[in-house]
Structure 1
Amino acid sequence: MSRADKMMDVCLLAGEIMLTYGAETYRIEETLERMAKAAGFVNVHSFVTTTGIFLSFDEVGKGDTMQMIRVDDRIYDLNKVTLVNQVSREFVTGEIDEEVAYDKLNEIAKAPMNYPVWLVHIASGVAGAGFSYLFGGSLRDMLPAFIAGFIVSVCVFKFQEYLKVKFFAEFISAFIGGSVAIGLVYIGVGANLDQIIIGILMPLVPGVPLTNSVRDLISGDYVAGVSRGAEAILTALSIATGVALAIGLFLT
């Protein structure tokens, strides 16, 4: 394998990890260009969308190299984005070479999430209870909000794993969460249904896609910004539709 091919693999692996786990488009492009230029390549150009990465550069005296990869999965773990940024800084400053960088990136890609899944579910329940109280609910509403928030988090993980359709998984999870909240209020566990439902849905709000959309638009990446904004809007619509269906079925 030539040095250009090896460097291409390093850059694309770094970009794939960053794009998969929630990095902004402009940050990925800047990282890939810095790494390629630090390796001595010229005419470096990168173009990143929400589903793909294009990268090309020239090796002096040996012609140009170009490659693209498609990225379909999106999981939000900003810790991995931070780790990739650290590897790129070490490479740019000359602390590590291509081989070491590639090995470190492989370790990051294969590493499990920073927090275990069970802790994420519990945190979602705690967030649901907290938001329910912050939005005007009573202490009595925190328990049903915790239970429903926990169930919603479990459903999102399981449905995404089996259905492979993010928006449909969020729709079903919101429907189940709304139904659980309605059932708990009906049997007298909670008092304020509105505040409970608001609380359990807050962990589902697409904060990272929305933030990245705004940052990409501000930086001039209009294609990525609009597509990420559309993703956030579709997620919001999926959540709203799921809750509306539960309310329509059980409260009318």
Structure 2
Amino acid sequence: MTNDQGHLMIKTALHAGRIMIENGSEVARVSDTISRIAANAGYPDSKVYVTITGIMMSVSGEENAQIEPVVSRSIDLEKITLVNDLSRHFAEHKITLAQFEERLTDLDQHSRYFPFWLQLVSAGLVSGTLEVVFRHNYPDFLVTCIIGLIGWWIFYVLNRLAKIRFLSEFLASAVIGVLALLAVKYHLGTNADDIIIGCVMPLVPGVPLTNAVRDILAGDLVSGIARGMEALMSAIAIGSGIAMILQAV
């Protein structure tokens, strides 16, 4: 293999790994995917070290180690599936390494997202449904849907503007608390606690918490603890926003 081929392999593997980490994949899956890409490209002795903030990779006997930083993290399981599909196509020789890298770039730059209005509607329905599931409070279903929709809208907008997830979660949960109390005050709802519980559910970091446990069980202690702290900070931000409003009234 030429140096250029080795460089392209590492670039492609790191690109695939970064997309997976950024969109909620656990570390073990990322490490396995990168190793398979390297092996299928003719480098079975590659060395990979994956964390949720960066990926390092090298090939034994060659001076071509590279680092790929991970600067943002969200949840998009479809992207993870698409990267895995591309990896399988490369393993089956349906695409070349260069085509693999081109399609990863296209996936990275032209992400397919659900329309914003559909995200809002989904957040509202999730809020109302979980409020009924957890609290069995059917009369507050509609108001919980509306407040949950508004809370998600505030979180989404602030996250796009400020780029600080914890701040967005804190302010969104505070607004949810205010709206829930107002809804009960003006007899639009019956129980503020039930409404708040349902509305904050779309903000709860369920996937990061699950991945933290999976990473720790798989032996990836650094990433597992880091993900756990990230999930804990999100939970603290959400709880602090609600607590601030409840203490103020």
Q: Which residue of 1 aligns with 2:128?
A: 129
Mapped to 2, the partners of 1:191 and 1:137 lie a distance apart of 12
User: 4+ residue stretches of structure 1 with deviation over 6 A?
Assistant: none
Larger displacement relative to structure 2 (103-112 or 122-131) = 103-112
Following the alignment from structure 1 to structure 2, what is the Cα–Cα distance between the partners of residues 208 and 159? 21
Find the counterpart in structure 2 of residue 67 from structure 1.
66
Question: Does 1:162 pair with 2:164?
Answer: no
Instruction: Compute the displacement of 1:137 (Å).
Output: 4.4
Q: Name the counterpart of 2:194.
A: 195
Amino acid at match of 1:5: H
2:21 corresponds in structure 1 to 19
SS in 1 for 2:184: helix
Equivalent residues in 2 for 1:81-92 (5 A)? 81-92=80-91
> Which one-letter code corresponds to 1:91 in the other structure?
F
Give 1:136 shift: 2.4
Structure 1 residue 34 corresponds to structure 2 residue 36: yes
Could you tell me whether the CA contact under 8 Å between 2:209 and 2:228 is conserved in 1?
yes
Instruction: Map residues 220-239 of structure 1 onto 2, 5 A cutoff.
Output: 220-239=219-238
1:190 aligned counterpart, secondary structure: coil
Q: 1:155 to 1:113 in 2, by over 3 A?
A: farther
TM-score relative to the length of structure 1: 0.94
CA distance in 2, matches of 1:159, 1:138: 30
Deviations 1:23-47 (A, max 9, x none): 1111111111110111112421111
In the superposition, the TM-score normalised over structure 2's length comes to 0.95
Equivalents in 2 of 1:113, 1:3: separation in Å?
Answer: 30
Question: Structure 2: where are the runs of 5+ without partners?
Answer: none
**SS of structure 1 residue aligned to 2:240:** helix
42-51 or 108-117, which moves further after superposition?
Answer: 108-117
Across the aligned residues of Structure 1 and Structure 2, the Cα RMSD in angstroms comes to 1.4
Count, aligned residues: 247
Give runs of aligned pairs for residues 143-222 of structure 1, distance below 5 A: 143-222=142-221
Residues 176-227 of structure 1: CA deviation (Å, up to 9, x unaligned): 1111111111111000111111000111111110111111111110110111
Identity %: 34
Name structure 1 gaps, 5 residues minimum. Answer: none
Shift of 1:114: 3.5
| Alignment-derived partner of residue 50 in structure 2 | 48
SS in structure 2 opposite 1:55? strand
